[in-house]
């Protein structure tokens, strides 16, 4: 029995030591995986860690607030930084899941677009979402979102991001709604009916993806004839020699922001990282390899014209729609419910 | 109290550990899931004044408006945001209504008309109904949403069309489970037979094949099926090379793909118990039945097969119950119409941050499995499928 007690005491001490050493741990950064995170590692994580003489560890994030909520509820904050979508940033900020950013500590603030400066997050990457296809297998290239719905001319599966977000907006624009009116229409019961009705003939052909890397694989393997996708994943694959194309007609653009989970042990370092990641030259380097948009207004000038032509900015988003976080925060639950029911019919 | 012998103390001590582990790892989480499914504390505890007011009368009047404002003022900003999000799970737009009203609560006069003047939605009975229902400590909204049954005005329950979505998903989960179970048994039985009765070499090959697949990661095997079945995959390539099909077949992102991949992943769980049981069937019995004049088919059907049923039941039962909880494999190989209940549980946790719904759906699944096990046991008793009667049925 005494032996057992000793063993317990020793393991308790070992456990305490482990907890203590965790407080002096690496900077833990959670990102979206795939080539997106690969480029972030090269451009931001590694040089920043080398500059500071610290170690860093990466985690994969799949969206939503489940990790942030669990960390806040249990007090066991395992991430120092996470790159989140706008709607999750807003909800998480309102509920105290993310630290408020002390913008006075971020000298590069003045170079950022206003949408990037949020109470709990620093917008870092502008994401384009729209139609993508494989030019080798598609036949005639689609020229509008409406072509996505033409299964006579382009038979085959259609890839959609799982859940209603982005999809219903793209559906309405395909149905002829002007980008400026999309959320007005979608806010009415008739508008919602219209979106579901337009999507109905495609129901049997839909395939939903959860991770941004999936539509790229599906297009490359010809598993889908067309898909909605994030722009840079497609262009990055194209730059690697895959025959993929992104259509810059009625794309949706949204902002991914760096946020710090409340109580993160390395929050000072995380704040320094946020300033580091908003540097124009670094953003330009990132967007050259991963052609998402920049939030530093000086960054596009530092890119080659060819590289700058691939990002969701300027002419590319002239027919585009800025994703409304507020709309989905208020209506997301109800529409997701209807979406699930519709998919399950 | 009788004095315990040392050996008894030792036995109890040994027993204590597994019991504690069982309590901590199984029953405690189960209890917390049960609590999550109906617990509304996150809302009810934050509306003490309103809760007291509704205890007296349910009418949304000046007193109710004053109580609401009192509660909102007492909350921290982050608490109002969470309360708003929880309300929003039931009625879209409630989140911003709660946050906006809470932010201005100190400036609004504590009357219903002032509240309605601040935001006209406070004049709608539907809003007050949602508030009233959710300041109670126990909520049935997740159960109502999961079953699609809502309390009707007449006091009974009603179901609007389309509200049975989770019941249909549950049914689909069972159908896929049965399809996979049937296939694993059909494929597994001959393999198990070969492994149990074949020559030493056949036994080794079959066992090795089964165990190799058993030891390979589920994700690897699932991804392998994606590579095999996809449009430009190996199978379609082979069929087209043989000129059997003019263009690729849709073998993936549908029920076929999901069932094939799940069958392969679960096959070892059917085969291994069947091998175990088949090895206990004496070969002499089959030989005896042959020597007494039964043909190979009759001898198999009347002597061997009944005795192997116990293995079929164990293997099939294991596969079925494991299949019910599948998530990754159908997500990667099935279409939208082949996603099982676990997919929606994960979806509610991750995307919806709605742990109440996730808990209710988990309970659904658990209750169904328990009900199935119980009815299976009852059936076995009714038909007398016990070990001894199976043996006697075989020899008699």
Give the model's confidence band at A198: pLDDT under 50 very low, under 70 low, under 90 confident, else very high.
very high
Contact A235, A151 (CB under 8 A): no
Let me know whether A224 and A143 are in one domain: yes
Rounded to an integer, what distance in angstroms lies between the CA atom of residue A124 and that of residue A273? 11
Contacts of residue A332 in chain B, CB cutoff 8 Å?
Answer: 92
Let me know whether A132 and A200 are in one domain: yes
Asked if B352 and A343 come within 8 Å (Cβ–Cβ), the reply is no
Asked if B352 and A221 come within 8 Å (Cβ–Cβ), the reply is no
A-B contacts (CB, under 8 Å): 90
Please list, in sequence order, all residues whose beta carbon lies within 8 angstroms of the beta carbon of residue A194, skipping any fewer than 6 positions away: A172, A175, A185
Residue A267 counted as domain residue: yes
Asked if A341 and B162 come within 8 Å (Cβ–Cβ), the reply is yes
Let me know whether A7 and A103 are in one domain: yes
Which CATH entry fits the domain spanning B166-395: 3.40.50.11290, 1.10.3720.10, 3.40.640.10, 1.10.3470.10?
A: 1.10.3720.10
Rounded to an integer, what distance in angstroms lies between the CA atom of residue B198 and that of residue A204? 46
Asked if B350 and A326 come within 8 Å (Cβ–Cβ), the reply is no
From the CB of residue A180, how many other CB atoms can be counted at a distance below 10 Å?
A: 9
Please list, in sequence order, all residues whose beta carbon lies within 8 angstroms of the beta carbon of residue B192, skipping any fewer than 6 positions away: B270, B271, B274, B275, B278, B311, B315
The pLDDT of residue B382 is: 83
Contact A187, B92 (CB under 8 A): no
Residue A283 distance to chain B (closest CA, Å): 29
The domain in which residue A340 lies consists of 127-253+318-344
ipTM: 0.87
CA closest to B334 among chain A residues: A207
> Digits of tens for pLDDT over chain B (396 positions)?
566 778 888 888 889 988 999 888 888 999 999 999 999 998 999 999 999 999 888 888 999 999 999 999 999 999 999 999 999 988 999 999 999 999 999 999 999 999 999 999 999 999 999 999 899 899 998 999 899 888 777 777 888 777 889 999 999 999 999 999 999 999 999 999 999 999 999 999 999 999 998 899 999 999 999 999 999 899 999 999 999 999 899 999 999 999 999 999 999 999 999 999 999 999 899 889 999 998 899 999 999 999 999 999 999 999 999 999 999 999 999 999 999 999 999 999 988 899 999 999 999 999 988 998 898 889 888 876 655 444 443 333
Asked if A91 and B85 come within 8 Å (Cβ–Cβ), the reply is yes
Let me know whether A30 and A103 are in one domain: yes
Let me know whether A46 and A97 are in one domain: yes
Rounded to an integer, what distance in angstroms lies between the CA atom of residue B143 and that of residue B166? 10
Q: Is A178 on the interface with B (CB under 8 A)?
A: no
Range of lowest pLDDT (A19-33, A302-316, B270-284, B327-341): A19-33
Residue A118 distance to chain B (closest CA, Å): 16
CA closest to A218 among chain B residues: B230
Contacts of residue A338 in chain B, CB cutoff 8 Å?
Answer: 162
Burial class (CB in 10 A: 0-12, 13-18, 19+), B196: buried
CA distances from B141 to A68, A336, B321, B360, B362 (A): 25, 16, 28, 10, 15
Query: Which structure tokens are listed for B316?
Result: 């099939």
- Pick from B336, B345, B356 the residue to mutate for testing the A interface (most A CBs within 10 Å): B336
CA distances from A166 to A161, A170, A189 (A): 8, 6, 18
The pLDDT of residue B391 is: 42
In this complex, the residue of A208, A222, A336 whose CB is nearest that of residue B352 is A336
The pLDDT of residue B8 is: 85
Average per-residue pLDDT in chain A? 92
The pLDDT of residue B1 is: 54
Residue A220 counted as domain residue: yes
Let me know whether A46 and A101 are in one domain: yes
The pLDDT of residue B385 is: 60
Q: Is A340 on the interface with B (CB under 8 A)?
A: yes
Let me know whether A163 and A60 are in one domain: no
Let me know whether A47 and A101 are in one domain: yes
Taking Cα atoms as reference points, which of B227, B336, B217, B230 lies closest to residue B265? B217
Residue A222 distance to chain B (closest CA, Å): 6
Q: Is B32 on the interface with A (CB under 8 A)?
A: no
Query: Is the predicted pLDDT of residue A191 greater than 70, yes or no?
Result: yes
Please list, in sequence order, all residues whose beta carbon lies within 8 angstroms of the beta carbon of residue B375, skipping any fewer than 6 positions away: none
Query: Is the predicted pLDDT of residue A48 greater than 90, yes or no?
Result: yes
Query: Is the predicted pLDDT of residue A4 greater than 90, yes or no?
Result: no
Contact A242, A220 (CB under 8 A): yes
pLDDT tens digits, one per residue of B1-37: 566 778 888 888 889 988 999 888 888 999 999 999 9
Residue A229 counted as domain residue: yes
Residue A69 counted as domain residue: yes
Q: How much is the average pLDDT of A45-53?
A: 96
Contacts of residue B352 in chain A, CB cutoff 8 Å?
Answer: 64, 333, 336
Q: How much is the average pLDDT of A287-299?
A: 96
Query: Is the predicted pLDDT of residue A318 greater than 90, yes or no?
Result: yes
Asked if B349 and A326 come within 8 Å (Cβ–Cβ), the reply is no
Domain spans in chain B, listed from the N-terminal domain onward: 41-138, 166-395
pLDDT tens digits, one per residue of A136-176: 999 999 999 999 999 999 999 999 999 999 999 999 999 99
Q: What is the domain count for chain A? A: 2
Strand, coil or helix: B222:
helix
Residue A313 counted as domain residue: no
Let me know whether A60 and A131 are in one domain: no
Let me know whether A118 and A163 are in one domain: no
Let me know whether A300 and A167 are in one domain: no
The pLDDT of residue B2 is: 64
The pLDDT of residue B392 is: 40
Let me know whether A142 and A116 are in one domain: no
Query: Is the predicted pLDDT of residue A199 greater than 50, yes or no?
Result: yes
Q: The domain spanning residue A68 has which CATH number?
A: 3.40.190.10
Rounded to an integer, what distance in angstroms lies between the CA atom of residue B386 and that of residue B64? 64
Contact A267, A71 (CB under 8 A): no
């Amino acid at each position: 029995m005494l032996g057992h007690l000793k063993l317990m005491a020793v393991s308790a001490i070992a456990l305490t030591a482990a907890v203590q050493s965790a407080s002096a741990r690496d900077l833990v950064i959670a990102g979206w995986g795939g080539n997106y995170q690969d480029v972030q590692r090269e451009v931001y994580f590694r040089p920043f860690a080398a500059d500071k003489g610290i170690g860093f560890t990466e985690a994969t994030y799949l969206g939503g607030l489940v990790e942030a909520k669990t960390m806040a509820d249990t007090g066991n904050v395992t991430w120092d930084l996470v790159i989140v979508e706008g709607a999750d940033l807003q909800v998480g900020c309102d509920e105290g899941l993310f630290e408020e950013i002390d913008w006075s500590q971020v000298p590069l603030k003045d170079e950022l677009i206003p949408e990037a400066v949020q109470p709990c997050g620093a917008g870092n990457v502008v994401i384009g979402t729209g139609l993508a296809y494989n030019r080798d297998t598609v036949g005639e290239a689609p020229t509008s979102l409406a072509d996505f719905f033409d299964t006579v001319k382009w038979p085959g599966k259609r890839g959609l991001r799982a859940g209603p977000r982005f999809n219903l907006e793209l559906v309405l624009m395909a149905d002829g709604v002007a980008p400026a009116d999309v959320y007005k229409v979608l806010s009415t019961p008739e508008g919602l009916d219209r979106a579901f009705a337009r999507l109905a003939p495609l129901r049997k052909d839909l395939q939903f993806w959860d991770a941004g890397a999936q539509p790229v694989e599906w297009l490359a393997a010809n598993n889908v004839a067309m898909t909605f996708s994030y722009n840079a994943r497609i262009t990055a694959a194209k730059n690697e020699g895959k025959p993929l194309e992104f259509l810059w007609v009625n794309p949706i653009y949204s902002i991914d922001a760096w946020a710090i989970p409340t109580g993160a042990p390395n929050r000072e370092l995380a704040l320094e990282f946020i300033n580091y990641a908003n540097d124009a030259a670094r953003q330009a380097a990132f967007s050259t390899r991963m052609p998402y948009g920049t939030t530093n207004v000086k960054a596009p000038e530092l890119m080659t014209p060819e590289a700058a032509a691939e990002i969701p900015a300027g002419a590319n988003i002239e027919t585009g729609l800025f994703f409304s976080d507020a709309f989905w925060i208020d209506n997301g639950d109800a529409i997701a419910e209807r979406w699930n029911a519709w998919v399950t019919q | 109290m009788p004095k315990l012998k040392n050996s008894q103390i030792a036995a109890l001590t040994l027993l204590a550990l597994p019991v504690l582990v069982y309590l901590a790892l199984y029953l405690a989480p189960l209890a917390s899931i049960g609590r999550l499914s109906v617990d509304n504390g996150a809302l009810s505890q934050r509306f003490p004044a309103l809760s007291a007011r509704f205890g007296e009368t349910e009418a949304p009047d000046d007193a109710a408006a004053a109580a609401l404002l009192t509660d909102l003022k007492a909350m921290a900003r982050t608490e109002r945001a969470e309360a708003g999000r929880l309300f929003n799970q039931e009625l879209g737009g409630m989140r911003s209504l709660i946050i906006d009203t809470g932010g201005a609560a100190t400036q609004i006069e504590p009357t219903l008309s002032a509240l309605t003047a601040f935001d006209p939605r406070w004049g709608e009975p539907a809003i007050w109904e949602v508030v009233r229902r959710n300041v109670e400590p126990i909520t049935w909204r997740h159960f109502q949403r999961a079953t699609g049954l809502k309390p009707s005005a007449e006091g009974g329950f009603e179901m609007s069309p389309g509200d049975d979505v989770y019941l249909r998903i549950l049914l689909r989960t069972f159908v896929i489970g049965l399809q996979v179970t049937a296939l694993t048994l059909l494929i597994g039985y001959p393999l198990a037979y070969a492994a149990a009765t074949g020559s030493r070499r056949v036994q080794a090959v079959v066992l090795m094949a089964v165990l190799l697949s058993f030891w390979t990661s589920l994700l690897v095997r699932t991804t392998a099926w994606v590579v095999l079945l996809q449009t430009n995959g190996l199978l379609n390539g082979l069929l087209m090379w043989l000129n059997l099909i003019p263009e690729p077949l849709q073998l993936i992102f549908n029920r076929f793909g999901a069932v094939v991949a799940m069958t392969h992943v679960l096959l070892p769980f059917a085969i291994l118990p069947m091998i175990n049981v088949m090895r206990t069937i004496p070969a002499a019995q089959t030989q005896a039945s042959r020597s007494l004049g039964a043909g190979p088919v009759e001898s198999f059907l009347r002597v061997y097969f009944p005795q192997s049923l116990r293995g079929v039941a164990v293997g099939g039962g294991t596969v079925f119950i494991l299949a019910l909880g599948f998530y990754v494999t159908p997500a990667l190989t099935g279409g939208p119409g082949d996603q099982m209940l676990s997919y929606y549980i994960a979806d509610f946790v991750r995307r919806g941050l709605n742990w109440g719904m996730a808990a209710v759906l988990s309970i659904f699944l658990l209750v169904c499995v328990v009900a199935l096990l119980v009815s299976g046991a009852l059936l076995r008793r009714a038909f007398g499928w016990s070990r001894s009667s199976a043996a006697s049925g075989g020899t008699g």
